[in-house]
Amino acid sequence: MSADEWISAKSLAKYTYPQIVRRDVTCALKAFKELRPKFEDFIQNDGTSRRLVSLDGTIPVRYMGSTYNIPIAIFLFEAYPHKSPMVYVRPTNTMQIKPSDFVDSAGLVQLPYMTDWKHPDADLVELISVLQAVFGETSPVFSKSAPITKRQSLNPPSNPQCIGSMPYPGSLSQPPVPVIPNGQISNVYLPQLGTGWQIPGSVPVLPNIPMPQLPNFANPFTQATNSNIYSMSSQNIPMPVCPDASATSNIPYSINTLNEEQLRLSVLTAVIDQVRRVQKELIYQHQDDLQAIRQTQTGLFSGGQKIQEMINKMQQEKDRVCTEMESVKRKMKDLEETSEKLRKSDSNFIIDEVFDTTAPLYRQLVVSFAEEQAIEDAIYYLGEAVGKNVFDVEVYLKKVRELSRRQFMLRATVQKCREKAGLPLL
**Residue 211: per-residue pLDDT:** 40
C-alpha span between 316 and 320 (Å, rounded): 6
**Residue 8: per-residue pLDDT:** 52
Among candidate residues 192, 201, 188, the one with its CA nearest the CA of residue 253: 188
C-alpha span between 262 and 405 (Å, rounded): 130
Beta strands 108-109 and 95-97 are unpaired
C-alpha span between 63 and 134 (Å, rounded): 10
**Environment class of 131 (CB within 10 Å of its CB; exposed 0-12, middle 13-18, buried 19+):** buried
Q: Which residues contact 160 (CB under 8 A, 6 or more apart)?
A: 242, 245
Residue 85's CB is within 10 A of a number of other CB atoms, namely 22
Q: What are phi and psi of 38, to 5 degrees?
A: -160, 165
Residue 194's CB is within 10 A of a number of other CB atoms, namely 14
- Taking phi first (over 0 means left), then psi (-120 to 50 degrees means alpha), and beta for anything else, what does residue 47 get? left
Buried b (16+ CB within 10 A) or exposed e, 201-237: eebeebeebebbeeeeeeeeeeeeeeeebbbbeeeee
**Residue 1: per-residue pLDDT:** 53
**Residue 291: per-residue pLDDT:** 83
Q: What are phi and psi of 122, to 5 degrees?
A: -110, 145
Which residues of the chain, if any, have pLDDT below 50?
Answer: 149-258
Are 79 and 60 in contact, with CB atoms under 8 Å apart?
A: no
Residues in the chain: 426
C-alpha span between 101 and 140 (Å, rounded): 10
Among candidate residues 214, 31, 220, the one with its CA nearest the CA of residue 128: 31
- Taking phi first (over 0 means left), then psi (-120 to 50 degrees means alpha), and beta for anything else, what does residue 226 get? beta
Tens digit of each residue's pLDDT (9 = 90 or more) over 300-345: 999 999 999 999 999 999 999 999 999 999 999 999 998 888 777 7
Task: Give ∠ CA 305-311-316 in degrees, rounded to 5.
Answer: 130
403 SS3 class: helix
Are 25 and 55 in contact, with CB atoms under 8 Å apart?
A: yes
69 SS3 class: strand
Tens digit of each residue's pLDDT (9 = 90 or more) over 400-420: 999 999 999 999 999 999 999
C-alpha span between 177 and 321 (Å, rounded): 98
* DSSP symbols for 232-269: --TTSPPPPP---HHHHTT----SHHHHHHHHHHHHHH
C-alpha span between 41 and 48 (Å, rounded): 10
For the domain covering 3-143, report its CATH number: 3.10.110.10
Are 177 and 185 in contact, with CB atoms under 8 Å apart?
A: no
Are 149 and 173 in contact, with CB atoms under 8 Å apart?
A: no
**Residue 2: per-residue pLDDT:** 55
Domain residue limits, the chain = 3-143, 353-421
The mean pLDDT of the chain is 75
